[in-house]
Structure 1
Amino acid sequence: MFTGIVQAVGTVSRITPAQSGCRMRIDCPELGPAEWRTGDSVAVAGCCLTALDIDERGFSADLSAETLDRTSLGALATGNPVNLEPALAVGDRLGGHLVSGHVDGLAEVMSVRPAGESRIFRFRVPPELARFVAEKGSVTLDGVSLTVNAVEAREFEVNLIPHTLAVTTLGQLEAGDRVNLEVDLLARYLERLTGVQT
């Protein structure tokens, strides 16, 4: 499990094609990866991946063809930045909201506008995911836990403060870009338990 509170922005340093997907190398020395163990989970742009070939500079992860097709990771190239969050340990502070690292779909940036020192981003989600996005509810975008400010049909807005813009990759987004979206876990289970679909 994760919280959506990004710990560092890493850099994709190598992508090696494999028979069914690829192996991606990510540099993140500031996270102290040498202390991790092989098999630990790391959220990379919101996608839960398994850390392999760990050393003091970073780690590698195997990405399946499905992961490459269904998330924004398939569009990454060497040199691209990615939001990173190691998995929670028992007793860690839960600063954002409960995040599984299982991407539900891609959200498209429709517009970006200034709001003082902050910026308001408007996103469009796939039709089947729109019902899970609620005003003042939580979403995870490229691994970042955010509060929804407004909702209209398939579109919603979030307000990113200067700190979030500075310490995550979201500050680089422009209209037309797509990001990994994970809807609120509780909303998913509530629908399943009640059997109610809208």
Structure 2
Amino acid sequence: MFTGIIEAQAEVVAIRDEQSNRHFTLRCPFTSELKIDQSVAHNGVCLTVVALEEDTYSVTAITETLSRTNLGQLKQGDTVNLERCLLAGSRYDGHIVQGHVDQVGICEEVKDQQGSWLFRFRYQPQGAGNVTVEKGSICVNGISLTVVESGTDFFSVAIIPYTYEFTNLHAVKPGDQVNLEFDIIGKYVARLLQK
């Protein structure tokens, strides 16, 4: 389980395809603290550390992951947002995030609001659970954010300078894909209301 509070960014240093799998080798500030089998969220996608070598580590994405997320578009030199799994007994600063991306969304607009940024994203509704509500939670590229405006196939979020600077949102521009994980409580409520 994760909280959507980004801990660091990792640089993609190598990408290797093997059959239908894609292996990513990354470098981050806490590589020396990682261990094999550890879960780490990459742009909100929970991936398992499968190899460690000097100052890099590797993770593997399978076809299902590549088809639902923006990880398949990564190139060498790109950065991804990182969060290690939640420690028992620590503060819970974001919202409940599973690291199971529901789908991608497309950035439609980025507005500089002289001290903050307003991002608007559009997505294809895929089932009743992928919904947003104003002032509810949404996870974008692994970042726990509060919804400002909510529609049936779009939402907007306001970004403070710290989040803009210390995540990869500063590089997101109109037309770019982002990973979306909708609020787990909202998904369960929507499912129950369908019955």
> TM-score, with normalisation over the residues of structure 2?
0.94
1:37 aligned residue: 35
1:191 aligned residue: 190
1:124 and 1:161 map into 2 onto residues whose CA distance is 21
1:69 aligned residue: 67
Q: CA deviation at 1:55?
A: 4.4
Instruction: From 91, 97, 100, give the equivalent of 2:98.
Output: 100
3-state DSSP class of the match of 1:149?
Answer: strand
Cα displacement string for residues 96-136 of structure 1 (whole angstroms, at most 9, x for unaligned residues): 00100001001111111111211101111212267521000
* 2:153 aligned with 1:154: yes
3-state DSSP class of the match of 1:132?
Answer: coil
8 Å Cα contact 1:34-1:55 kept in structure 2? no
Aligned AA for 1:8? Answer: A
Bigger helix fraction: 1
2:98 and 2:84 map into 1 onto residues whose CA distance is 12
> Which runs of structure 2 are paired with 1:4-153 in the superposition (5 Å)?
4-28=4-28, 30-31=29-30, 33-55=31-53, 57-128=55-126, 132-153=131-152
Aligned AA for 2:25? Answer: R
3-state DSSP class of the match of 2:93?
Answer: coil
3-state DSSP class of the match of 2:52?
Answer: coil
3-state DSSP class of the match of 2:51?
Answer: coil
1:162 and 1:35 map into 2 onto residues whose CA distance is 28
3-state DSSP class of the match of 2:17?
Answer: strand
3-state DSSP class of the match of 1:51?
Answer: strand
> TM-score, with normalisation over the residues of structure 1?
0.93
Q: CA deviation at 1:23?
A: 1.0
* 2:170 aligned with 1:171: yes
Shift in CA distance, 139/3, structure 1 to aligned 2, threshold 3 Å:
same
Aligned AA for 2:156? Answer: E
Which ranges in structure 2 are unaligned for 5 or more consecutive residues? none
User: Aligned residues: percent identity?
Assistant: 40
When the two structures are aligned, how many residues end up with a matched partner?
A: 194
1:191 and 1:143 map into 2 onto residues whose CA distance is 22
2:154 and 2:82 map into 1 onto residues whose CA distance is 26
Alignment RMSD: 1.5
3-state DSSP class of the match of 1:52?
Answer: strand
- Between 153-162 and 54-63, report the one with greater CA deviation: 54-63
Which ranges of 4 or more aligned residues in structure 1 deviate by more than 6 Å? none
1:36 and 1:172 map into 2 onto residues whose CA distance is 26
Which ranges in structure 1 are unaligned for 5 or more consecutive residues? none
8 Å Cα contact 2:131-2:152 kept in structure 1? no
- Between 121-130 and 101-110, report the one with greater CA deviation: 121-130
